[in-house]
Amino acid sequence: MSATKKLFVKTYGCQMNVYDSERMAEALGGAGYETTDRPDEADMILLNTCHIREKAAEKIYSELGRLKPFKAANPDLKIGVAGCVAQAEGEEIRRRQPLVDLVVGPQSYHRLPDMAAKLATGERVVDTEFPPEDKFDHLARRPRARRAPAAFLTVQEGCDKFCAFCVVPYTRGAEVSRSAAQVLEEARDLVDRGVREITLLGQNVNAYHGHKGGLAGLIWDLAEIDGLARIRFTTSHPNDMDDALIEAHGTCDKLMPYLHLPVQSGSDRILKAMNRKHTADGYRKLIDRIRTARPDILLSGDFIVGFPGETEADFNATLALVRDVQYGQAYSFKYSTRPGTPAAEKPQIDDDLASDRLQRLQALLSEQQRAAQDEMIGRTVSVLFEKPGRLDGQMVGKSDYLHAVHAAAPDVAIGDIRRVKIVQSASNSLKGELLQDI
């Protein structure tokens, strides 16, 4: 029997890449690999990449350069680039960095065992096709090991929206949904292994159509699984928030009161240039409907400043929307070009001006985030405890609103959900006092 080989995976970007990295490691487990957190002892290093952020490809090339000493020390080491940069760059990666043995796109990682066999013979592999088969139908069953109490579960991939700034439709392909039966089977398996909370993932997760009732129908079926206590989903598009999903936020006890709903800009002129296909006022009205269904919901959003053509009036419209909505969390970025997208061909605004706007927006968002945390003081929340804290007897977990909470809890086990009274707010976490079991 051949010796077990070591696999090191470095993950960049979103939660979907975290999920993909897990599945890639599981696929290669069938080819004799076990994971390690030490690249210096690895027989294969995989970089699972993201193409959303600025200069993503150049950062990966820099990382590959840092791997040269490992290759020099172990000529049999296999180095691979996976994910969205792999999809976008393809053969160019091997041309620019010859130490790379494997380039695999996000729709082909179910083929990794076959690729590993080819690598063992000295062949190098580039697979960035969009295969006709569903990768989820060809992945091996997940191993039976115990899991952390919170897990990601991809239910939808790809995007048909074609926002002018975004490469996802080109790197992940068209919108595709997994069947409800497939998702429910994987969810039950996760729960059997200790998972209490599942976050459903998709580039446009609320465009999910693998269930006759859409994402809301899938959520209600998941809520029937004994042992599954919490359900979340991300990332959503405003145009796909249907009535059933809004209602589920008000009526499904297991669906947590947290929603990430990117808007990107508060200016209708910029939203049109972005090809977002919604308006700022339409977004406000949607938020009103969601809050009517679930008044205590914590809202999160995404914003891009410095988009080509953005004026000070456009930026002020974004600030006005932020003040109207009052976000509990948010992510904001300065626009950067993505080759091949429509916005990349437009005249760019001054970088210093964009940086100034980003600082002003982030100051407002940080103020709102801190206010949302301070408002939690005195409230009782449920906390899913996930790991020990820094102090003896302390445990750390996530509240139903996705706030990080730490509390003295010497008798609490990982995976327990307990009632906690919030007594203090820090910059990125809350301190609580443990109450009785729930």
User: Which CATH number goes with the domain that contains 238?
Assistant: 3.80.30.20
Q: Judge whether residue 179 has pLDDT over 80.
A: yes
Rounded to an integer, the average pLDDT of 400-407 is 97
Give CA angle at 140 (220, 414), nearest 5°: 55
Q: How confident is the model at residue 252 (pLDDT cuts 50, 70, 90)?
A: very high
Residues 190, 211, single domain; the answer is: yes
Residues 167, 313, single domain; the answer is: yes
Q: Judge whether residue 52 has pLDDT over 80.
A: no
What's the total number of domains in the chain?
3
Q: Judge whether residue 141 has pLDDT over 70.
A: no
Residues 428, 316, single domain; the answer is: no
Residues 352, 407, single domain; the answer is: no
Residues 21, 92, single domain; the answer is: yes
Q: How confident is the model at residue 14 (pLDDT cuts 50, 70, 90)?
A: confident
Residue 218: what pLDDT? 98
Nearest to 102 by CA among 67, 69, 73, 134: 67
Q: Is the dihedral of CA 200, 205, 209, 214 positive or negative?
A: positive
Higher per-residue confidence, 295 vs 62: 295
Rounded to an integer, the average pLDDT of 193-219 is 97
Q: How many other C-beta atoms are found inside a 10 Å radius of the C-beta of residue 169?
A: 17
Rounded to an integer, the average pLDDT of 237-263 is 98
Q: How confident is the model at residue 228 (pLDDT cuts 50, 70, 90)?
A: very high
Helix (H) or strand (E) holding 363: helix 351-374
Helical residues (DSSP H) of 67-101, grouped into ranges = 68-73, 84-89, 91-96
Q: Which residue has the tokens 């909470």?
A: 405
Residue 167: what pLDDT? 85
CATH number of the structural domain spanning residue 393 = 2.40.50.140
Rounded to an integer, the average pLDDT of 239-267 is 98
Residues 357, 432, single domain; the answer is: no
- Among residues 127, 156, 173, the one where a domain terminates is 127
Q: Judge whether residue 34 has pLDDT over 90.
A: yes
Residues 363, 387, single domain; the answer is: no
Gap between the Cα atoms of 43 and 94, Å rounded: 19
Residue 131: what pLDDT? 64
Rounded to an integer, the average pLDDT of 323-328 is 98
Residues 154, 247, single domain; the answer is: yes
Residue 1: what pLDDT? 37
Predicted TM-score (pTM) of the model is 0.83
Q: Judge whether residue 202 has pLDDT over 70.
A: yes
Residue 133: what pLDDT? 56
* Chain-centroid distance, C-alpha 180: 20
- Among residues 127, 154, 183, the one where a domain terminates is 127
* Mean model confidence pLDDT for the chain: 92
Q: Judge whether residue 113 has pLDDT over 50.
A: yes
Gap between the Cα atoms of 223 and 252, Å rounded: 8
Q: Judge whether residue 346 has pLDDT over 50.
A: yes
Tell me the backbone φ, ψ of residue 429, rounded to 5 degrees: -160, 170
Q: How confident is the model at residue 338 (pLDDT cuts 50, 70, 90)?
A: confident
- Among residues 327, 351, 374, the one where a domain terminates is 374
Q: Judge whether residue 139 has pLDDT over 80.
A: no
Residues 60, 157, single domain; the answer is: no
Residues 94, 209, single domain; the answer is: no
SS (H, E, C) 141-196: CCCCCCCCCEEEEECEECCCCCCCCCCHHHHCCCCEECCHHHHHHHHHHHHHCCCC
Residues 341, 290, single domain; the answer is: yes
Rounded to an integer, the average pLDDT of 274-293 is 98
Percent of the chain with pLDDT over 70: 94
* Chain-centroid distance, C-alpha 25: 18
Residue 134: what pLDDT? 63
Q: How confident is the model at residue 350 (pLDDT cuts 50, 70, 90)?
A: very high
Percent of the chain with pLDDT over 90: 72
Range of the domain at 67: 5-127
Rounded to an integer, the average pLDDT of 76-105 is 89
Q: How confident is the model at residue 362 (pLDDT cuts 50, 70, 90)?
A: very high
CATH number of the structural domain spanning residue 103 = 3.40.50.12160
Residues 296, 368, single domain; the answer is: yes
